[in-house]
Amino acid sequence: MGITLGCLGHNAPRPIGTSDWRATGGDPGNSRYSPLEQINRTNVGRLRVAWIYHTGDRRSEIQATPVVANGVLYATTPALAVVALRADSGTLMWRFDPFANRERESHVNRGVAYWSDGGEQRIFFSAGRRLYSLDATTGRPVVEFGDSGWVDLTVGLGRDVGDAFVVATSPGVVYQDLLIQGTRVGEGEGSAPGDIRAYDVHTGRIRWTFHTIPRPGEFGYETWPPDAWTTAGGANSWAGISVDVDRAIIYVPTGSATPDFYGGNRVGANLFANTLLALDARTGKRLWHFQTVHHDLWDRDLPAAPNLVRTTREGRRVDAVAQITKSGFVFLFDRTSGNPLFPVEERAMPASNLSGEQTWPTQPFPLVPAPFARQSITEADLTDLTPSAHAVALQRFRMLRHDALFAPPSRQGTIVLPGFDGGGEWGGAAVDRETGVIYVNGSDVPWIAAMREAARIPSSTGPPRAGAEVYGATCANCHGADRRGNDRTPSVLGVGTRLSAEQLQQVIDRGRGFMPSFANLREDEKQAVIAYLLDRPAPPKAQSADNSPHALELAASRLRRTSAPYEFVGYERWRDSTGYPAVKPPWGTLSAIDLNTGEYRWRIPLGEHDALTARGVPVTGTEQYGGPIVTAGGLVFIAATQDEKFRAFDKATGKLLWQTTLPAAGYATPCTYAVRGKQYVVIAAGGGKLGTKSGDAYVAFALP
């Protein structure tokens, strides 16, 4: 069953007297707060490495936050295995490989969900299309759950999604005997819908479903073209969910509708895309909602699970929910009514100049707090690291569209600031239960949203194009003409060491993450580009095309799936001629915002580029992935930065109190817990993004 037991075995006694971290956000409300204070302002400078666990996986990136229960730490590896470690020593207890008996898949994973009831303990996690239930003590699949321990995430979506990309990068959340799960789907036409589903923790049976793309008779149906639910995709919750256990309410952030950057075929506001949903945890009934972007054209997914917090208003305590955004906003709502606790106004936004696109005329702006990332750019904001870098940036700036935060994508290119990856991102924010202060890190880097007329789909008859030609027409804009990758997209040099020909075809047919499906390609051209990517001889050309009625209907259906007149040119961070962001620093920050008043307690650059520091440039901050936690010991812990550092700050002042260099960048959010009275802080050091080296380690720190 893909289970490996460590030297302790699964019957080893567990430590007692623990203080746990039982959800990736620390608690059901995703506060990312710990009441532990053994490690505090006075002694944090003495932190040392307590243990390191190496997963042994070759694939880059660990974005997971471990959960800890009863002295056992549960986490995922880059190869999507689950490991159980002694939380005080990092010693392996068991390891479950979901691909021991099936074709291996790959995608990011941000952790597991833990459930217990009496003597039963379960770990829920996803790999590929499968949602697994494991016995937390043994690591073995719970055979009563679904099909001998797993359920198919594509089942119950209400329509056949075929080979469309459907995975769950973030773990579900537990409410009583329900596991409530969101998914990640593709970004282009033909993507799966993002229904929210609640599974019975014992059987895997779906107990309720919420349709994020409404069906006839459901609230929000009129915000789409008629019967859009039969073909539209996205509006999914990939970032995680928060639970108010006492009120039996879940708070669900959703992403954009697909395709991301052209909405001519999905005219309307598109509920419930880009929405914070409050649902009855027991039934899935909508209680209230707030849409943060109408008719999204900027990939402005709500990027993180919201934080439940208690604030003070006019001398009374108010239970609130805070939602950060990629645009750098913090929205704050009354948990029960959904009423904004700070004023929000709808502001007029510019129209699109693309044929058929109908941008929404207004977008919501919270007036308080002020944004934690820049939202506008002028010539005065352009880089001045060198005169030549400034001149090149200025020349391009004058060619780009930059008239508003929500200026739509355009053929000349539109500046998106904050960029497609925020602002805020999946690392999320942390809230201090003692003070009502939220701590949020943000990137401050511009990207470019450029469109072009959609490429004509080649005829199903006639000779196929060569692999290099197919690659140049369909892949090079993102992966680069040299195949070395481009910003969000990985290098495909040597891809044969990571993926087989069959796996490459699966990615081409289904899409993966930000990559859309290219199922519209002719089969012989798929084989040609696969051979090109694997540096193999080109396959023999087909002697004749298939002109059967079935083949012609299939070709026609693929044309219908790719009917948009425009397509996205590709993901591009706007960098200057020296390779740094094309705007002046800071390029990454950490902020403390008082949610009682909306005022900032402090804001500092987070991270530095050593080469610039050596030149005497003040600390710039860096682009970031991963987020903070806050503790009763007066500390904010965060890694997240490009410089591979892990840091602790005084939560009251923002003063740096401790830092260390990790084996690889910590693009994840840490956790903290105690075993037998000793406090530990753990961070995943996986690297592999933003040009940094890869790693395979979980690193634990403690006092000597």
- CATH number at 602 reads 2.140.10.10
The answer, yes or no, to whether residue 520 has pLDDT greater than 90, is no
Strand order in the sheet with 196-200: 173-175, 178-181, 196-200, 206-210
Average pLDDT over residues 440-447: 97
C-alpha closest to that of 84 among 127, 119, 51, 55: 55
Same domain? 527 vs 549? yes
The answer, yes or no, to whether residue 625 has pLDDT greater than 90, is yes
Supply the pLDDT for residue 477.
64
Residue 91 covered by a domain: yes
Residue 299 covered by a domain: no
Same domain? 122 vs 8? yes
pLDDT digits (tens, 9 = 90+) for 106-139: 899 999 999 999 889 999 999 999 999 999 999 9
The answer, yes or no, to whether residue 546 has pLDDT greater than 70, is no
Supply the pLDDT for residue 553.
45
The sign one gets for the Cα dihedral 238, 244, 206, 277 is negative
Same domain? 47 vs 129? yes
Higher-pLDDT residue of 223 and 57 is 223
Residue 153 covered by a domain: no
Query: From the centroid of its chain, how far is CA 576?
Result: 26
Buried b (16+ CB within 10 A) or exposed e, 323-360: bbbbbbbbbbbbbbebebbeebeeeebeebebeebebb
User: Where does the pLDDT of residue 521 fall: very low under 50, low under 70, confident under 90, or very high at 90 and above?
Assistant: confident
Supply the pLDDT for residue 499.
76
Residue at which a domain ends, from 528, 563, 598: 563
Supply the pLDDT for residue 618.
96
Same domain? 498 vs 646? no
Supply the pLDDT for residue 312.
95
Q: Indicate the burial class of 75 (C-beta count within 10 angstroms; 0-12, 13-18, 19 or more).
A: buried
Percent of the chain whose pLDDT exceeds 70: 90
Residue 140 covered by a domain: no
pLDDT digits (tens, 9 = 90+) for 232-282: 999 999 999 999 999 999 999 999 999 999 999 999 999 999 999 999 999
The answer, yes or no, to whether residue 358 has pLDDT greater than 60, is yes
| CB of 179 closer than 8 Å to CB of 114 | no
User: Where does the pLDDT of residue 169 fall: very low under 50, low under 70, confident under 90, or very high at 90 and above?
Assistant: very high
Higher-pLDDT residue of 502 and 589 is 589
Higher-pLDDT residue of 482 and 603 is 603
Higher-pLDDT residue of 524 and 657 is 657
Same domain? 619 vs 691? yes
Residue 37 covered by a domain: yes
Average pLDDT over residues 504-513: 69
Same domain? 465 vs 501? yes
Pairwise CA distance, residues 23 & 28, whole Å: 7
The answer, yes or no, to whether residue 16 has pLDDT greater than 70, is no
Pairwise CA distance, residues 500 & 511, whole Å: 16
> CA-based angle 633:635:638, to the nearest 5?
140
Average pLDDT over residues 417-432: 97
Supply the pLDDT for residue 555.
44
Same domain? 441 vs 462? no
Supply the pLDDT for residue 559.
41
Same domain? 598 vs 625? yes
The answer, yes or no, to whether residue 371 has pLDDT greater than 70, is yes
User: Where does the pLDDT of residue 406 fall: very low under 50, low under 70, confident under 90, or very high at 90 and above?
Assistant: very high
pLDDT digits (tens, 9 = 90+) for 173-193: 999 999 999 999 999 888 999
Residue 382 covered by a domain: no
The answer, yes or no, to whether residue 487 has pLDDT greater than 80, is no
User: Where does the pLDDT of residue 58 fall: very low under 50, low under 70, confident under 90, or very high at 90 and above?
Assistant: confident
Residue 617 covered by a domain: yes
Beta-ladder partners of 114: 123
Same domain? 530 vs 624? no
Domain range for 36: 1-135+426-445+585-704
Average pLDDT over residues 334-363: 98
User: Where does the pLDDT of residue 537 fall: very low under 50, low under 70, confident under 90, or very high at 90 and above?
Assistant: confident
Q: Indicate the burial class of 435 (C-beta count within 10 angstroms; 0-12, 13-18, 19 or more).
A: middle
Supply the pLDDT for residue 386.
95
Average pLDDT over residues 56-82: 94
pLDDT digits (tens, 9 = 90+) for 470-479: 777 677 767 8
Residue 658 covered by a domain: yes
Q: According to the per-residue pLDDT averaged within each range, which of 117-121, 532-536, 647-651 is highest?
A: 647-651
| Mean pLDDT score of the chain | 91
Pairwise CA distance, residues 547 & 461, whole Å: 8
Pairwise CA distance, residues 453 & 668, whole Å: 38
- Taking the CA of residue 78 as centre, how many other CA atoms within 13 Å lie in the half-sphere pointing to its CB? 21
Same domain? 594 vs 623? yes
User: Where does the pLDDT of residue 25 fall: very low under 50, low under 70, confident under 90, or very high at 90 and above?
Assistant: very high
Same domain? 648 vs 613? yes
Average pLDDT over residues 399-422: 97
Residue at which a domain ends, from 513, 529, 563: 563
Number of structural domains in the chain:
2
Supply the pLDDT for residue 460.
59
Pairwise CA distance, residues 539 & 467, whole Å: 9
Percent of the chain whose pLDDT exceeds 90: 78
Those residues whose C-beta lies under 8 Å from the C-beta of residue 52, and which sit 6 or more positions away, are 90, 663, 697, 698, 699, 700
E-only strand ranges, 261-394: 275-280, 286-291, 307-313, 316-324, 330-334, 344-348, 362-366
Average pLDDT over residues 590-600: 98
Supply the pLDDT for residue 1.
54
Supply the pLDDT for residue 28.
98
User: Where does the pLDDT of residue 88 fall: very low under 50, low under 70, confident under 90, or very high at 90 and above?
Assistant: very high
Number of helices followed by number of strands (H, E) in the chain: 7, 42
Query: From the centroid of its chain, how far is CA 477?
Result: 22
- CATH number at 471 reads 1.10.760.10
Same domain? 436 vs 467? no
